[in-house]
Structure 1
Amino acid sequence: MPLMLPSALDSPRNITGVAPHLLAALRGESDELARARSVVLVVVDGLGAIPLRAHAGHARTLSSAMAKKDVGGAVFPTTTAAALTSLLTGAAPGVHGLVGYRVRHPEQDVLVNQLTDWDRIDPLTWQAAPTVFEQATAAGNAAFVIGFAGHARSGFTRATLRGGEFHPAGSPPDRIALAYELADANDGAIVYCYLPEVDKAGHKHGVDSPEWVAALEDIDAALSQRVPDGVGVLVTADHGMVDVPPHRQLVLDAAGGWHDGIRHIGGEPRMMHVYTEPDIDQGALLARWRRDLEGFADVVSRTEAIDAGLFGPLVSDAARGRIGDLMAIARSNVALYDGAAEDQRGRGMVGQHGALTPEEWRVPFIKLGAFRR
């Protein structure tokens, strides 16, 4: 069965367009967003458009503002490191280079976690695309970032949020209130507000859990605050999520021959980057993985993934070197685990993402304030 790509892959309605449209809205030059005297980008990590609509009664502010057309596509893989970086640079993963959750460092031949292992990599060179904040300040506009205090000096922040003035805040209402305050006080500013609570609840309890619904209700209540006059607010997400029950978890262990010819297994359970030994017959290995994972995952080579445009229309040499020789992209609600991995904590996650299902791929584009027509 051939790999089914989302139709949004070729659509201009994609999270890579968010940063350019926000900057254009400040100049009155966006064909997507109305002119605004300042703009706020609210990213609700993990909030897919499909789960949001399924729980519309628990998100009255968001659902009442969300028209049928207010959806778009994420990027591949549908994981935070790749997608947040695309949101905040306007570049696809093939350009900014964060092509997965855990990827191989080509020079060091080790796996690096794109959210936490920044002691091994330089944020300024590993992710070299200019951020929306750098673009804004270069044009003479103020740029602000609202998040948790513990994130202020992280490597991921320096890679994806550089150029923005960081302001810590605790609860979702406090973060939203501060974002609106900064936007109101600084004409021409772009303000970014990050809300990870829905994603955390989904990973731990699942998308249909009472905990996930409660997190959604809290976010929705925070966004019911009055938007200052002339301020445009765009609410979106980096990706959605699917629930994976225990019986849909496949463990790839040595007893099953899964590590034969394999040097590293990176990525995450719904989108594995598989790095082979240099002398292996990759064609034979690809055929075996396809056969053994038939019905559970689509297995593609690096060349096939790049040629299909999965990582965007352009792929830099740096990004190419980080992409797996093979990729196993989970179908339906399947998760694939490396049985040899030292850290098996991920097997306790209920909600997961990384693959190409509509639940993971489609995200909301909700307009509030000056953007709401």
Structure 2
Amino acid sequence: MSLILPTAPVSARTISGVAADLLGALEHGDGPLPRARSVVLIVLDGLGAIQLRAHAGHARHLVAGAGKKDIAYSVFPTTTAAALTSLLTGVEPGLHGLVGYRVLDRSHDRLVNVLSGWESDGIDPLLWQPQPTVFETAVAAGHPAFAVGIPQYASSGFTRATLRGSTFVGAKSPAERVEIAYQLAIDNPGSLTYCYLPEVDKAGHKHGVDSAEWIAALEEVDHALARVVPKNVGVLITADHGMVDVPAHRHVVIDHGDERLDGVRHIGGEPRMLHVYLEADADAEAALSLWRRASEGDADVLSGAEAIAAGIYGPSVTAEAAARIGDLLVVSRGNKAFYDGTAKDQRARGMIGQHGALTPEERQVPYIRRGAFSQ
């Protein structure tokens, strides 16, 4: 079985480089972004570059002046926990350790949700994500740092893992968040402000890309971004990942009696990219061979060791991150998605828009410069 591993141009931007780009613009301006008095990072969760180009007529303000080369590449896996953390720490998942949506806490032999399960699963943000954030780095260099997001996220575990060092400001609508972010940039020269817009991602998961609801969310975000950028403020607009629609007939359900479940202790990750954790006495090579044969055409299956050696989690992987990576990784091809039919919770099978794998639709994101950055 041939494996389709990610490829990108050697000179391609990656979202793990965004933090350094922004700090460079505050300090000296001799990097990819010119110097600006203050900088604003706007993240459009779930809006890939390919989806944006396909719906440019609904996002006239967002695409104005943006060219085909104004893209960056997400990390692996293309899931929010891993990608947002890379955006906000400047390192790949192999270093920050959030290597999937649901991963194994080996010390307690349980799966934990590193996006929304910090409190319920009892995991410590400082231990599970030890890398300094871009906000901590900015503050240490004398730059005020702010994060503008949805109010209920203010004190979440994921916020403590990724936004620590910033002053959090909550606002309900995209327009309010952008307005507040720009005002913070005006009022605080030398500052770094992060503005999070998750509306498109939420609509995509529930209704799918191309749906009326998804288009309405895109138009709402585009309207918010019609606001004129303040003078001498640099604005970078990007995303954590893109999205593909997975219709029900493209689901691969691994149910009772499926031989792929033999020797499996836990199935984590998410439907587009499973982490499969084996029993301690399982034959790992036999399991790898079986999963590859049974999943032929639907997914690339590789061992955790192969994934680390291939560098798809980044050039360096800590021992803590390696322990969270599955014994097997099942990376969906095309618009397939894998489900554990034996699990009690089957809510994920209701999602239409999904991400996590390595298609261009999931990996390519916008890298759009506004204000002082477009000069």
TM range (shorter): over 0.9
Secondary structure (helix, strand or coil) at the match of 1:166 reads: strand
Q: Identify the match of residue 233 of structure 1 among 232, 235, 250.
A: 235
Deviations 1:172-208 (A, max 9, x none): 0000000000001111100000000000000011111
Secondary structure (helix, strand or coil) at the match of 2:23 reads: helix
Contact kept? 1:70, 1:365, Cα under 8 Å: yes
**Deviation of 1:5 (Å):** 2.6
Report what 1:33 is aligned to. Answer: 33
Q: Identify the match of residue 139 of structure 2 among 128, 137, 159.
A: 137
**Deviation of 1:65 (Å):** 2.7
Contact kept? 1:133, 1:161, Cα under 8 Å: yes
Contact kept? 1:46, 1:199, Cα under 8 Å: yes
Contact kept? 2:143, 2:192, Cα under 8 Å: yes
**Deviation of 1:332 (Å):** 0.0
Counterparts of 1:297 and 1:30 in 2: how far apart (Å)?
42
Tell me which moved more, 6-15 or 82-91: 6-15
CA spacing shift, 1:25–1:82, aligned 2, 3 Å = same
Report what 1:76 is aligned to. Answer: 76
Tell me which moved more, 225-234 or 22-31: 22-31
**Deviation of 1:116 (Å):** 1.7
Counterparts of 2:273 and 2:81 in 1: how far apart (Å)?
13
Match status 1:121 vs 2:123 = yes
**Could you list the runs of 4 or more consecutive aligned residues of structure 1 that deviate by over 4 angstroms after TM superposition?**
9-12
Deviations 1:200-255 (A, max 9, x none): 00001111111111111110110010110000000000000000011000111122
**Deviation of 1:68 (Å):** 1.7
Report what 2:108 is aligned to. Answer: 108
Counterparts of 2:276 and 2:142 in 1: how far apart (Å)?
44
Counterparts of 1:163 and 1:86 in 2: how far apart (Å)?
16
Report what 2:368 is aligned to. Answer: 366
For structure 2, the 5+ residue unaligned runs are none
Q: Number of residues paired by the alignment?
A: 373
For structure 1, the 5+ residue unaligned runs are none
Contact kept? 1:8, 1:72, Cα under 8 Å: no
Q: Identify the match of residue 154 of structure 1 among 138, 153, 156.
A: 156
Q: Identify the match of residue 352 of structure 1 among 350, 354, 368.
A: 354
Report what 2:332 is aligned to. Answer: 330
Give the TM-score normalised by the residue count of structure 2: 0.98
Deviations 1:107-150 (A, max 9, x none): 11100001122132110111000000000000010000001111
Tell me which moved more, 69-78 or 256-265: 256-265
Deviations 1:29-70 (A, max 9, x none): 342111100000000000000000000111001111311210
Counterparts of 1:222 and 1:353 in 2: how far apart (Å)?
25
Tell me which moved more, 6-15 or 351-360: 6-15
Tell me which moved more, 58-67 or 171-180: 58-67
**Deviation of 1:10 (Å):** 5.0
Report what 1:178 is aligned to. Answer: 180
Secondary structure (helix, strand or coil) at the match of 2:261 reads: coil
CA spacing shift, 1:343–1:11, aligned 2, 3 Å = farther
CA spacing shift, 1:122–1:10, aligned 2, 3 Å = farther
Letter in 2 for 1:321: A
Counterparts of 1:309 and 1:293 in 2: how far apart (Å)?
23
Counterparts of 2:284 and 2:125 in 1: how far apart (Å)?
32
Secondary structure (helix, strand or coil) at the match of 1:267 reads: strand
Q: Identify the match of residue 222 of structure 1 among 212, 224, 230.
A: 224
Counterparts of 1:347 and 1:248 in 2: how far apart (Å)?
11
Contact kept? 1:45, 1:237, Cα under 8 Å: yes
**Deviation of 1:341 (Å):** 1.7
Identity across matched positions, percent? 62
Q: Identify the match of residue 291 of structure 2 among 280, 289, 294.
A: 289
Report what 1:44 is aligned to. Answer: 44
Report what 1:99 is aligned to. Answer: 99
Contact kept? 2:44, 2:239, Cα under 8 Å: yes
